[in-house]
Amino acid sequence: MEVIIRPDAEKTAQLAATFIARKIKEKQKIVLGLATGRTMERIYAILVQMHKNEGLDFSGCHSFNLDEYIGLSAEDPNSYRSYMDYHLFRHVNIDLKNTHVPNGMAQDVHSEGKRYEEEIRKVGGIDLQLLGIGETGHIGFNEPLSALMSRTRDKSLTPHTRRQNAEMFGGDPEKVPSRAMTMGVGTILEARSILLVALGESKASILAKAVEGPITSMISASALQLHSACRILVDEAAASQLSGRQYYDWVFQNEPEYAQYR
């Protein structure tokens, strides 16, 4: 795990998009694991600009989203399929047949989880997994006590998560679905590389626990400490409670692999 701290949210998003773009250029038929939420919106906007202005080519990409609300159809404006269409898919040259989001309307959620895992296996696994972190420490919708080897499945959402996501539902937490399909922690850890992006002071406390605290199922993001190719990309506000930031800054300023990003 390596932590990279940038001065503000815009520079953090710019660097995240640059990392993703370089991965796409390196491997034409890349498999991307994608995330949703406010943190991702600027990253996707920059990738769209790179496609339109620099010819960033998504035509060979496959994508798998982390999660979807149970009970929302793909056409529902609050679904994560709609989110991805609106913020990314409709604006780049990705083949929509190669974009995957869990089916929130599946009659059998257990079978849907198995189907989704099989679709990931068919394309050889995820090359780069993009993540945010929830205020409860979740990645995907892996709420507290999610098994560290869990697979794609249905999960009940905490009241805190529903309050955090209420903005997209008119501000009413009761309108946020109480359950979701999500990739498991074990599924996420199988990605060849991982990029977690966190912005803002509201993420500072939980980020410090996830990165520098013990590995625990109470904070599913802490499992990323087990991954050999995980980057944590944060702005100053989100980094404010990290105790090891002097070392993290030294690594970014001195490691040759980061010279092209400085």
235 in active site: no
Q: Is the pLDDT of residue 261 over 90?
A: no
76 in active site: no
Kindly name the residue from 51, 62, 67, 112 that is annotated as catalytic.
67
Q: Is residue 179 part of a domain?
A: yes
What are the pLDDT digits (tens) for 25-76? 999 899 999 999 999 999 999 999 999 999 999 999 999 999 999 999 999 9
Contact 180, 70 (CB under 8 A): yes
Q: Is residue 81 part of a domain?
A: yes
What are the pLDDT digits (tens) for 110-150? 999 999 999 999 999 999 999 999 999 999 999 999 999 99
**Cβ neighbours around 78 below 10 Å, total:** 15
What are the pLDDT digits (tens) for 203-248? 999 999 999 999 999 999 999 999 999 999 999 999 999 999 999 9
Predicted local distance difference test score (pLDDT) of residue 259: 85
Instruction: Identify the band that residue 262 occupies on the pLDDT scale cut at 50, 70 and 90.
Output: confident
What are the pLDDT digits (tens) for 169-185? 999 999 999 999 999 99
Residue with tokens 């149970």: 70
**Host domain of residue 43:** 2-232
Kindly name the residue from 68, 112, 127, 143 that is annotated as catalytic.
143
Q: pTM value?
A: 0.95
Q: Is residue 94 part of a domain?
A: yes
Q: Is residue 42 part of a domain?
A: yes
Kindly name the residue from 68, 138, 227, 236 that is annotated as catalytic.
138
Q: Is residue 205 part of a domain?
A: yes
**CATH assignment at residue 202:** 3.40.50.1360
143 in active site: yes
Helix, coil or strand: residue 62 = strand
Considering its fold, how many domains does the chain have in total?
1
- Please name which of 203, 189, 210, 187 lies closest in space to residue 238, comparing C-alpha atoms: 203
Q: Is residue 262 part of a domain?
A: no
CA distance 185 to 171: 29
Backbone torsions φ then ψ of 32, nearest 5 degrees: -105, 135
Q: Is residue 246 part of a domain?
A: no
Q: Is residue 252 part of a domain?
A: no
CA distance 252 to 260: 11
**Helical ranges in the chain per DSSP H:** 9-26, 38-54, 80-87, 109-122, 159-164, 185-189, 204-212, 245-254
